[in-house]
A and B are shown apart, each in its own frame.
Chain A
Amino acid sequence: MASHWLLAVAFFSYLAASILYVAGFIGQRRLALAAAGAAGGQATGVGPGGTPAAGEFYWKAPGWAFALATLGTLAHAGGILARWQGAGHWPTANLYEFVGFMSFCSMVAFQVLYRLYRFPVLGALATPVTVALLAYSYVFPREVEPLIPQLRSHWLTLHVSFAALGEGFFAVAFAAALLYLLRTREAEKESRLAGLALESIFWFASTVLTFVVLAYLLRYVLGQEWAIVLDRGVARYHLPPIIGPEGSTPGQAGSLFGLPLPLVAVPGWIKGKNANTFLFAVALGTPVYYLLRRLLCRGLPFREALARLAQGLDADLLDEISYRAVAIGYPVFTLGALVFAMFWAKVAWGRYWFWDPKETWAFISWLIYSAYLHLRLTRGWEGRVSAWMAVIGFGAILFTLVGVNLLIVGLHSYAGGDL
């Protein structure tokens, strides 16, 4: 299918762009540090920037990266259109399509903000976020699914597309805020808690990476299966079921090294299987985090290593870009995630608001960004506090997107004769 090819082109363009961005950015920093070191006559601990040719490469890399990112965005747009054509409905109907669409939106948001500010470093963060999202989308089944009657509505199309576009801007705001936090970090003044909080972002990223790889392996490589028979059906696990679904009894699925499986059963509102996978991702994510730290940062905490790179960036500009991204994303998100969602709920179910968990989490994310804007505008909270709120807001967005779907049992279930 054409869309798969185009998406592959997009993926590899983004990947190449993010490598070029990061390499160029790091190279430039090293050159600058080396120059400063040479000028000041002090040892910086950073090797020489390399040959003049390499120096030229570092300065040119962001330009090529931007071209590649643009190519990727165009291919991605083509892929979405092709899938639309092929499936006969706007391709945001399942998690594979939606997460892929969101990665596209984060690229669109990046393009818009790049037009406004011409700040290449943003690419070094926005493209990896996009690559991660696109890679994550491949975890989900890729088949085109026919639409159940509830999903056949133009309001739904508008709702999902605008919500995702707003979220794309929030993703860029997050990227800029994170960079700001690294740039303005003062190692001596950092409290233990603040350090931990900042580092936990990287720990979380490692965990997500682990989760994605794990999910790939489960889907395509590992064949092992544990079955737990329940009254209402069979739950099939591809990982040892430490956390069982509601209604399972400990030890029901045998044991692993003397540990009864499952060890505990979750209450009914949590999806046991996903909670189990999560547990594994967290357990394995921590060693992966330390491994990456060793490989990428010579064993330093990520924040330490990256903060060194971020020195010399224009902090005020980062702050403004983050704010601007929120200021564009917020109205778009409001329109998509709240207003169009209400219109759709009204025609589909007869009521514009249900307080179902997904809806409520969208509302919560929106409240967080509202608080962000108010504190910034009326109390002059700029800088680090503001950046932290942009990070927290994006955390809520991610939870709304995947956490609610994966962990909390949805209330609009389509089982039985009821719609």
Chain B
Amino acid sequence: MALDRCPDCSATLPEDARYCPACGVPVAPDAPIRLRREEPSPWAQFLDAAWDFFASVRVAVVLIVLIALAAIGGTLVEQEGLYQDWRPPELYYPARYGPLLGRLLMATGLTHTYTSWWFLTLVYLLVISLIVCSLQRLVPLHRALQKPTVEKHLGFLLRQPVQARLPAQGADPLAPLAETLRRRGYRVWREGKGLHADRGRLGRYGPYIIHIGLIICALAAGAKALPGVDVTHDLWVENGQTVALPGTRLAIRNNRFIMETYPNGMPKLFQTQATLLEDGREVLHHNIEVNKPLVYGPWWGPWEIYQASWREEPGIAHLELVAGDRVLGKVDLDLKSPAREYQVTPEVRVVVERYFHDFDLDPATGQPVNRSREIANPVFLLRFVGPDGQEVGRQALNVAIQPGVEARSVAEGPYALRQIGISSRWYTGLRARRDLTVPYMYGGLGVVMVGMYITFFVFHRQIWALDLGTEVVLGARTNKDRWGLQQEVRRIARALGGELTVGNGVERSPGSTGA
């Protein structure tokens, strides 16, 4: 259970040091001398070994590097759910990477790296390491910071990266120094011939705050695997329609979907003018746009509805019934679900015998079939029926769905439907999400950022001074910003009539203080 660095002076420690070789502080919280008769149980031994394993920063860094390597691997292979192809993985990967490599990638989980068992294992090992490591160090650090050793021996002072010498004046040579340090915001202790002062202790807690934040983030991310915690529904909602949100009392109505483009044709705006209903009552109107989701519900777990996609589909074919050159009436055929029959005039009824939304002839059987689920090539087989129920004609009509294309038709008898137009159906693609982990994740990130600020911008400066009778020797160090500390010590020393003896760029040998 060795620390890597002395909690008190930050010197690097050998693996199993009990005392810091630099400052002599006990570093292993005195291992309780266990007067055990019997050998510790194998279980206890195992736990001890596991604890030591996870308490090592070296192990943590190895884990971090392994995670980085695994993540790199994941960016080199297209990940499931992110590739743009309709084929399922078992067809897609062999086709993309060749049968052997494709199957190998799938078997190893590299096609879904970030949810593979080995990646998650690495992440959780790191989380354990983070917890153990922080626990292991926080307590001794806290103790050392609360009760620092004030009177150090000279050798300790002479090992500090920044040193100064001051003239010893008056009855209490340390008093002016103490005063100056206090004015500069230091906390000062005195004991015998020694003085200790520090400032920015908080900075030393920074890394632990970061680690706690990271643990919160990791737990939040892990909680997504629990059922019901992270729910997504993709909804296609036609203009004017209402669609229920499965498993809730909510429903969403798309009043209108609009799309705007810039003059150069690039998309500018996608917007769904939406109304949210709860138990059938309207509760919220919101224009859903990319980057402006509709949000409804408590802050800790609202439903959020995002603009995800859109689709335009051939909607209604506008036709007129003609006999020769005479227009008898108008009829609109719904291309998604046409009615069985339409009474166009009192004399003529149009019966939809069969409807193919994507007409094709099966090459094997020669029978008409639908080629896909889309409305891509709509064909109606129609019958015209007179007032007495007599069939008076037939027509096969291929509705034109693209501008500039003529409808095609074969008619028998006096009547025919002639296409005069077509209108689209607009669907907005909405993604409704409820992710209960978000507040925890954001909270964790907030803790991390606070911790980072403290770690990197609050410097812990420590100063020791010894009254040697003829002069006062001062040794100082910091966890960050040695340069700044040196400037400060130089200023303090000058103010008290002394000088800086050791620091960056100062080439005075530390031994010259002469004890």
Contacts and interface: CB of A to CB of B under 8 A. Distances in A.
Interface of A: 116-117, 145-146, 148-150, 152-153, 267-269, 314, 316-317, 320, 324, 327-328, 330-331, 334-335, 338-339, 342-343, 346-357, 360-361, 363-364, 367-368, 370-371, 374-375, 377-380, 404, 408, 411, 413-414, 417-419
A267 B96 contact: yes
Nearest to A365: B68
Contacts of B482: 320
B339 interface: no
Contact of A378 (B5, B67, B76): B5
Given A267-B96, A380-B12, A327 B456 contact: yes
A327 B68 CA distance: 20
B225 interface: no
Contacts of A335: 449, 452
Interface string B356-369: 00000000000000
B504 A374 contact: no
Interface string B424-441: 000001010101001001
Given A327-B456, A331-B452, A417-B312, A361 B75 contact: yes
Contacts of B108: none
B269 A363 contact: no
B306 A349 contact: yes
Contacts of B311: 417
B68 A364 contact: yes
Among B75, B435, B448, residue most surrounded by chain A Cβ atoms (within 10 Å): B75
Given A363-B71, A374-B57, A413-B84, A149 B291 contact: yes
Contacts of A334: 448-449, 452
Contacts of A414: 267
B251 interface: no
A149 B289 contact: yes
A355 to B, nearest CB: 5
Given A268-B96, A351-B433, A374-B57, A418 B309 contact: yes
B289 A419 contact: no
A152 B291 contact: yes
Mostly helix, strand, loop or mixed at chain A's interface?
A: helix
B509 interface: no
Contacts of B96: 267-268
B57 A146 contact: no
Interface stretch (B58-66, B164-172, B345-353): B58-66
A364 B266 CA distance: 33
B60 A374 contact: yes
Contact of A331 (B264, B310, B453): B453
Contacts of B438: 346, 352
Given A355-B113, A380-B5, 9 more contacts: A149-B307, A314-B505, A335-B452, A351-B433, A355-B114, A368-B68, A375-B61, A378-B5, A379-B61
Given A330-B456, A350-B433, A417-B309, A364 B290 contact: no
Among B289, B290, B292, B505, residue most surrounded by chain A Cβ atoms (within 10 Å): B290
Interface string B472-515: 00000000111110000000000000000000110000000000
A328 B429 CA distance: 43
A153 B290 CA distance: 9
B61 A419 contact: no
Contacts of B306: 349-350
B247 to A, nearest CB: 17
A317 B486 CA distance: 12
B65 A339 contact: no
B268 interface: yes
22 contacts: A149-B289, A149-B290, A152-B290, A320-B482, A324-B481, A331-B449, A331-B456, A338-B445, A343-B442, A347-B292, A347-B293, A348-B290, A353-B221, A355-B79, A360-B71, A371-B61, A374-B57, A377-B207, A378-B4, A378-B5, A379-B12, A408-B75
Interface of B: 4-5, 12, 57-58, 60-61, 64-65, 67-68, 71-72, 74-79, 82-84, 96-97, 113-114, 207, 221, 232, 262, 264, 266-270, 289-293, 304, 306-312, 429, 431, 433, 435, 438, 441-442, 445, 448-449, 452-453, 455-457, 480-484, 504-505
B452 A330 contact: yes
A330 B57 CA distance: 19
A377 B289 contact: no
A153 B67 CA distance: 31
Contact of B72 (A152, A330, A331, A364): A364
Contacts of B75: 357, 360-361, 404, 408
Contact of B456 (A116, A149, A328): A328
Given A320-B504, A331-B449, A374-B60, A146 B264 contact: yes
B78 A149 contact: no
Given A374-B61, A379-B12, A148 B452 contact: no
A367 B68 contact: yes
A186 to B, nearest CB: 21
Contact of A317 (B312, B431, B480, B504): B504
A360 B113 CA distance: 11
A356 B4 contact: no
A149 B267 contact: yes
A400 B290 CA distance: 25
A387 B4 CA distance: 21
A158 to B, nearest CB: 13
Contacts of B97: 267
A419 B311 CA distance: 11
Nearest to B62: A371
Contacts of A145: 266
Contacts of A370: 64
B268 A149 contact: yes
Given A268-B96, A334-B448, A364-B72, A417 B310 contact: yes
A338 B214 CA distance: 13
B78 A314 contact: no
Among B57, B61, B433, residue most surrounded by chain A Cβ atoms (within 10 Å): B61
Nearest to A354: B82
A328 B455 CA distance: 10
A368 B69 CA distance: 10
Nearest to A148: B267
B504 A419 contact: no
A353 to B, nearest CB: 8
Among A145, A150, A328, A355, residue most surrounded by chain B Cβ atoms (within 10 Å): A355
Contacts of B268: 146, 148-149
Contact of A350 (B5, B84, B308): B308
Contact of B291 (A153, A352, A360, A363): A153
B219 to A, nearest CB: 15
A327 B480 contact: yes
A303 B433 CA distance: 55
Contacts of B481: 324
Contacts of B445: 338-339, 342
Contacts of B484: 116
A374 B71 CA distance: 20
